[in-house]
Chain A
């Protein structure tokens, strides 16, 4: 398989660190309070507070830049804020102030809601309103420096929201989903995703078999690591491939999209003469189970979609209805696996396997797909629950299908690091799910054993 070069690599020579028209971006509003995906087109808009802001001004800006809402001639616009390099280096080693004189009677702020509205009408900027709020606060000066900082941040978020332009990577996409809609990605945390890629030994030129029922997060993360080499094949039982909507949030070029394919498990198993009839009970069971998914996305629909179908409010996905056809052209990942590729997989086996199927029995699935894997190839199975993986691990041991079997549960804790105020964050995710990993072995010598 040589890498197929195509003519329409419109975003091939694009500097990946600067946005272009039609590219997918992740917008982080107020330091992670709200995260949304958007396609940058001349017409696309997002709503911040009660203002509909055009995203046009974001086109051609470097990723990592910040924006603030400002009133333009034709309504609110996002204008770039340059980050200063000195930063807020708040050094407080000794703090003499405390909260002994703080009385919670809601009288500290003398500026009323009407006053603020009035300021707004006169065209005051968000920063000016924040300044006025501080000037009119009877208690601000009495607060500790730390709580002053917190107060400022809170008011800034409300009156002068910041929008940060982020590159959509497996990291940022997984984090954004985990934060707001973890159920859509099977509660897969970013550290767990990273471990799946490691345990399955995903590397350039690998042929990676996945059973991705997490809307494409696995497929996308694997494709990102393949960088336009090898293949990621999402296998499914039944007729309809699993939806991979999340793949379209990555800015994959055509080389990478070409390498994202799907194939039914019976096709991968079939002999040269053609697909075998579906007599497999597992497959029949899957056929029934996958019905709801088919309605969301038929295979043909997958080829020409913008992100609109996600606008059911599940994830905040913004696209302009009149998105240019160019946008659609760039996103056709997930075609059917080419016949020659299937032939090669049958001869050589896949080099990696990742399973993330919350509603399928892990052991049933592994039994079916593990034989498609080369000897000595690594695999990783994700599940939100421990028990299905425990059973699966036990059976793999008994059947002597794999070695190096291990169930791992990742644990991730974030810290606040500030002068004299370093501690773990008050909230943390209690579970990132479980991974069963191992290596497939050659079974031909089994009779000789012992």
Chain B
């Protein structure tokens, strides 16, 4: 009985397709057991495992999973009250937005930059510590797939277990191995000596782990250390100078923009000048924008609130000595 259920597991849509049969496609429909991202709004999403008898309840009403099965990913589905949500296939970016935060996590700007700057390509062996909530790990796995591997370590046993469960859920278990280990205290395991293409550290005292990193990396391999505080960066860089070259520290952020269509009045016809942009927009929509001496303009502005700091990313390349 158990064996059959395992086999079925492999048929489910995983976050990344491991062969062409599991690719996203017009004909790839949601089935029992699939992990879907339920999208209400851009800032309101949830990961749900579809089950024949399952229901989802939110402010829009009650959604029956059985209504979802057989629909293509990307479909709009309705609740008993006529409210709707969209059902999306999981991606590393969506997962970062829905995963349960057991620790502070890395977001898309840092993640993307790290993966590219560490020169991670399919087939690479990557070491990571700590695992945290597994946000970066998911993207590392995507980059090394199909034949590479990520070995990630966290000294917190429960956190490591939860991360392992998550990778099981998202179908990444064959690409990621989670270990429980204090990397600052013990360094990475000897089995990886000289085998790592890239190493990523997110530790409170990264300088303690750097000597081990230099033993694990292949010659010319790249490491990255993520630290929120400049003092941590300072100490790490001092330690890095003995075995590493090309030491660079960056800060990367993302500004997002809000776009709206607004009615801008001409100077002469500005009788009702106190009207807010928002009400103009509504009126314009219904009247097709022809009656007033005003023009519809699409305008973009930066969102008011944004992340001001995440952490410093310090990259370094192992010196070539042979």
Q: Report A's interface with B, CB cutoff 8 A.
A: 1, 17, 62-66, 82-83, 85-89, 167, 169-171, 190-191, 193-195, 197-199, 201, 203-207, 224-229, 347-349, 351, 374-378, 386-387, 389-391, 393-394, 403-415, 417-419, 422, 434, 439-442, 444-446, 448-449
- Per the bound structure, the CA–CA distance linking A394 and B284 in Å amounts to 15
Known contacts: A85-B243, A391-B298, A415-B250. The answer to whether A197 contacts B116 by CB under 8 A is yes
Q: Is the CB of B298 within 8 A of A390?
A: yes
How many Å from the CB of B12 to the closest CB on chain A? Answer: 15
By the criterion CB–CB under 8 Å, are B233 and A417 in contact?
yes
Pick from B18, B26, B218, B234: contact of A375, CB below 8 A. Answer: B26
B15 to chain A, nearest CB (A): 8
Across the interface, do A199 and B233 meet the contact criterion of CB distance under 8 Å?
no
A439 touches B74 (CB 8 A): yes
Residues of B within 8 A of A441 (CB): 74-76, 86
Q: Is B135 an interface residue (CB 8 A)?
A: no
| Minimum CB–CB distance for B315 against chain A, Å | 10
Q: Which residues of A lie under 8 Å from residue B23 when comparing CB positions?
A: 205-207, 348, 351
B265 to A: closest C-beta gap in Å: 20
Task: Give bound CA distance, A439 to B94, whole Å.
Answer: 10
Query: Which of A198, A204, A439, A445 meets B139, CB within 8 Å?
Result: A198
Q: Which of B122, B247, B248, B260 has the most CB of A within 10 A?
A: B122
Measured CB to CB, the closest approach of chain B to A60, in angstroms, equals: 13
Contact indicator A411/B24 (Cβ below 8 Å) = no
In whole Å, how far is A17's beta carbon from the nearest beta carbon of chain B? 6
Shortest B295–chain A CB gap in Å is 14
A201 with B93, Cβ < 8 A, contacts A391-B298, A408-B257, A449-B84 known? yes
CB < 8 Å: which of B24, B27, B146 contacts A376? B24
Q: Across the interface, which residues of A come within 8 angstroms of B314, CB to CB?
A: 417
Is there an interface contact between A439 and B243, defined as CB atoms closer than 8 Å? Answer: no
Residues of B within 8 A of A (CB): 16-20, 23-28, 39, 42, 71-76, 78, 84, 86-89, 91-93, 108-109, 111-113, 115-117, 119, 121-123, 139, 142-143, 145-147, 218-220, 230, 233-234, 237-238, 241-243, 245, 247-257, 259-261, 298-300, 302, 312, 314, 317-322
Which of A386, A411, A415 meets B249, CB within 8 Å? A415
Contact A205 B20 (CB under 8 A): yes
Our pick among B93, B252, B312 for the contact of A412 (Cβ within 8 Å) is B252
Q: 28 interchain pairs (CB within 8 A)?
A: A17-B219, A62-B320, A64-B318, A82-B321, A83-B245, A87-B241, A167-B119, A194-B115, A194-B116, A197-B112, A201-B92, A203-B17, A204-B16, A205-B18, A227-B121, A227-B122, A229-B146, A374-B74, A377-B24, A378-B93, A393-B259, A394-B260, A404-B88, A411-B255, A412-B113, A415-B233, A422-B230, A440-B74
Q: Are A410 and B27 interface neighbours, CB within 8 A?
A: no
In the complex, A300 Cα to B212 Cα: how many Å? 51
Considering the chains assembled together, what is the distance between the CA atoms of A204 and B148 in angstroms? 11
**Chain A neighbourhood of B123, CB < 8 A:** 227
**B238–A419 touching, CB < 8 Å:** yes
List chain B residues, Cβ under 8 A from A417. 233-234, 237, 247, 249, 314
Interface centre among B24, B109, B251 (most CB of A within 10 A): B24
Distance in Å: Cβ of B269 to nearest Cβ of chain A: 24
B220 touches A62 (CB 8 A): yes
A199 to B139, CA, bound (A): 11
Given A62-B320, A407-B259, residue A225 in contact with residue B121 (CB < 8 A)? yes
How far, in angstroms, from A101 to B91 measured CA to CA in the complex? 62
Cβ distance B196 to chain A, nearest Cβ, rounded Å: 13
Q: Is A85's CB under 8 angstroms from B230's CB?
A: no
- Cβ-defined contact, A85 with B319, below 8 A: yes
Quick one: which of A86, A204, A377, A414 has the most chain B CB within 10 A? A204
The answer on a CB contact under 8 Å between A422 and B234 is: yes
Q: Would B42 and A229 count as touching, CB distance under 8 A?
A: no
Q: Are B254 and A409 in contact (CB under 8 A)?
A: yes
Q: Report the bound CA distance from A439 to B89 in whole Å.
A: 10
Docked Cα-Cα span, A69 to B167, in Å, equals: 51
- Which A residues lie within 8 Å of B298 (CB)? 387, 390-391, 394
* Inter-chain contact B88/A171, CB cutoff 8 Å: no
For B237, list chain A residues within 8 Å (CB): 417-418
- The answer for the CA separation of A167 and B121 in the assembled complex, in Å, is 13
A113 and B14 alpha carbons, distance in the complex (Å): 68
